[in-house]
Each structure stands twice: as C-alpha cells, then as structure tokens.
Amino acid sequence: MNFSRRVFLGSLAAFGAIPGFAADEKDGKDTTFSTDVRVINVLATVRDKSGHIVKSLNQEDFILTEEGKQQTIRYFARETDLPLTLGLLVDTSMSQRRVLGQEKTASFRFLDKVLRAEKDQTFIMHFDHESELLQDLTSSRPLLQKALDEIELPAEQRSGQRQGGQGQGGRSRGGGGVGFPGSGGVGFPGGGRRRGGRGGGAGQGGGGPQSRGSRGGAGTTMYDAILLASDEITRKQKGRKALILLTDGVDNGSKTFLNDAIEAAQRADTLVYSILFADEQSYRNPFGGGRGGGGEHVDGRKVLQQISRETGGSFYEVSKKLSIDDIYDQLQEELRNQYSLGYSPEAKDASGYKAIKLTTKRSGLIVQTREGYYAGR
C-alpha cells in the first residue's frame, strides 16, 4: 500500500494530540476507524492583508474542498510544538560563488535557533553538477555544522584528492550516482553518509540518459535534488516535513524535469520553501548572453515561486532591504505557526491528482497551502 498520501489514524500520534477527533466521539466512547480509512493531511499558514501571520483561528473558521466539493474536516491542530523534519538544499554551482559564505553562516544560525534536539531532525544536501547528501537526518548541531563546513564550490571540489576519487574521510564521491529508471544507478543505500549523489552530466549517474542541460560535469541539478530529498528521505518520515531551497532558481543539469520535482514533493507531503539568492555579477561574461555564455534564459524567480506555491511553501528573495537572516527569522515564525487539518475523501478508490482549496470564513485573510495531492499509487 502506498503511504505517501495516506496517514492512518493509528499513526497520527506523530502529530501529537488531535483535538478535531473529539467531534467524532459518541456517548463518551472513541469512534473506531478501520485501517483502510485514508486521511489527507493539509498544512496551512494564514496571513492578514499586511502579511502578518494569523495564529488564532479554529477548525470552524476553515472551508476545505476537493475537486470543488466541500469536505468534512475530521481533525485540526495548531502546529506550534509538533516535530519537524527539515531538509536544507544548498546550490553550490559557480553562480553562487560570491554568496555561498553568507548562506552557510545564516543557515547554521537558523538551524541553531529553530531545531529542538528532542523533537526535530535535519539533513543537508548540496547540488551543482550532482546532488549529494552531506548529512543524513540528525538533531546534532556539531554534525550539521560540520556538513555546512563541507559545502564547497565545484572548482574547489575538483582540486587535490577530491578530483574524481575519494571525498573527505575516504568517502566515495561521484561514482555511480543515484540512477533514474533504466539507468543502472542505485538509490541511497541504508545508513551511512550516502555521499555520491545523483549525477547530472552526460556519462554520470550509472550510464543513464543524458542531462537536459549539462555536459561534461557542468550544470546545476536543482530538480534532481528536490526529487531525491523527497523520494529518499522525507517520504519515509511522518509528521511535518519541509525543504529549504537556497539557490538562484536556475537548473541546467538535471535529468528530471520541474514537474517531476514538484510531484515528488507533493507525494511526500513536503513543503518547499524557496530562498532566491542571486549574484547578478555571476551572469555577466565578456561575450554577452546569459549564464555561462549564451543559451536559453531561465527565470529562476518564476521557477521557485511555482515550486513553493504548488507544494504549499513560501517564496523569499534576498535583497538590500531583506537579508538572508531576516528571511530565516520570518521562516522560523512560519514553521512554528501552522495549522494542520485532515479529512477523508469519499472517493476512496479514485486515483490521480486531486485539486484542493482551503479558505477561511473570515474576510481579508490569505491561506497558504498546497494546491493538491496524488491519490492512489
């Protein structure tokens, strides 16, 4: 049975107490549910017209529909204190070389403030011409700091012992990355640091199909990183799950496509929070054209906005008025002030993508949540 969109009531303890279930109790006895009941979970953030987060809503304030048909909200909770699985995905392509130091420093300050050792876990990946897991799920701040310290640029990775051979501490790097269907590659093996990643360029990734934009180890595999993090890590976790994507939003090396990455996050019930941190000087070259000289221009801002909108996360952009530290402060508040709602759709045997819409009965409020889910396999 596929659990990516199904969280059974027996396993809802991962969310803590679910006060909404009290409405289904009769004669003081708990209602018994069979294990074939499918519960769709919806995480939401609500803001007023000024952008301030609204924290005081109750279950009765929400209206939830699936494919245009109103649904009965069967449980409801304010997500102020529940466990969180968080993935940090950092773009280390050459376009990020001037901002990477700020990203690493601010990221650790954020993790140090937001993570609770007894409840939350984090993993760290980087992506350039390959997508690589630097630290598996952990609540250890020293391990997270070490992983952030290991984040490098491709030019640095190609120097010394890291040239096509062994990574730090003798860990294999770059050979036989995570494969795509029919590629002969392998997924993350159980345990360990799981370095080696999903190859992005032609001839990498276990002999799979050619990259759409990358040749000879160049390029940026952002879509691959999102898909890998969702399929191999967050999909296996219960509770609240989110990815933080630090990048300029340009992908020119993945073997997967944008829609594949979004679908993987949706199937894994994972919110994607995008932080656009672009260095405009990295796009300039003496021959004109765009990044790396010529080629099709990609609007990274629109790409990141789409990813976050369709998965239920937020989009942020670093600017002179809004620093990355400011963004992390806003993100911390958002993660600690969410609403969790659940319902059981009537058409239990239906499959495919189902559009959902969550609104409030109070006027002037903006609800941020995912746009749908995938039913069935």
pLDDT digits 0-9 by tens, 44-73: 999 999 999 999 999 999 999 999 999 999
Please report which confidence band the pLDDT of residue 98 belongs to, taking 50, 70 and 90 as the band edges: confident
Q: Which helix (H) or strand (E) holds 110?
A: helix 100-114
Give residue limits of the domains in the chain. Answer: 9-80+337-375, 84-335
Q: What is the pLDDT of residue 116?
A: 87
**Per-residue pLDDT reduced to its tens digit, 147-185:** 999 887 664 444 433 443 333 333 333 333 344 433 333
Q: Are strands 130-138 and 121-127 parallel, antiparallel or unpaired?
A: antiparallel
Measure the CA angle with vertex 7, ends 40 and 114; round to 5°.
90
Q: What is the pLDDT of residue 79?
A: 74
**Per-residue pLDDT reduced to its tens digit, 25-34:** 333 344 344 4
d(CA 214, CA 71): 45
Report the percentage of the chain scoring pLDDT > 70.
Answer: 66
Which string of b and e fits 103-115 if b means at least 16 CB within 10 Å?
bbebbbebbeebb
Q: Between the ranges 75-79, 103-107, 221-225, 285-289, where is the mean pLDDT highest?
A: 221-225
CA atoms within 13 A on the CB side of 375: 20
Q: What is the pLDDT of residue 31?
A: 37
Sequence-distant (6+) residues with CB within 8 A of 133 are 123, 124, 125, 188, 193, 194, 195, 197, 228
Residue 311 near residue 274, CB atoms below 8 Å? no
- Residue 80: CB atoms within 10 A of its CB come to 11
CA 307 to chain centre: 9
Closest to 113 in 3D by CA, of 155, 84, 71: 84
Q: What is the pLDDT of residue 375?
A: 85
Q: What is the pLDDT of residue 291?
A: 42
Q: What is the pLDDT of residue 191?
A: 33
Closest to 256 in 3D by CA, of 183, 176, 152: 183
Residue 269 near residue 313, CB atoms below 8 Å? no
What's the topology of domain 9-80+337-375?
Immunoglobulin-like (2.60.40)
Q: What's the whole-number mean pLDDT along residues 340-362?
A: 87
Q: What's the whole-number mean pLDDT along residues 84-91?
A: 95
Residue 117 corresponds to which amino acid?
A: A
Q: What's the whole-number mean pLDDT along residues 101-126?
A: 91
CA 236 to chain centre: 13
| pTM of the predicted structure, to 2 decimals | 0.75
Q: Does domain 84-335 have CATH number 3.40.50.360?
A: no
Same fold, 9-80+337-375 and 84-335: no
Q: What is the pLDDT of residue 171?
A: 33
Question: Is the pLDDT score of 2 beyond 50?
Answer: no
d(CA 152, CA 156): 6
At 23, list the tokens: 């409405």
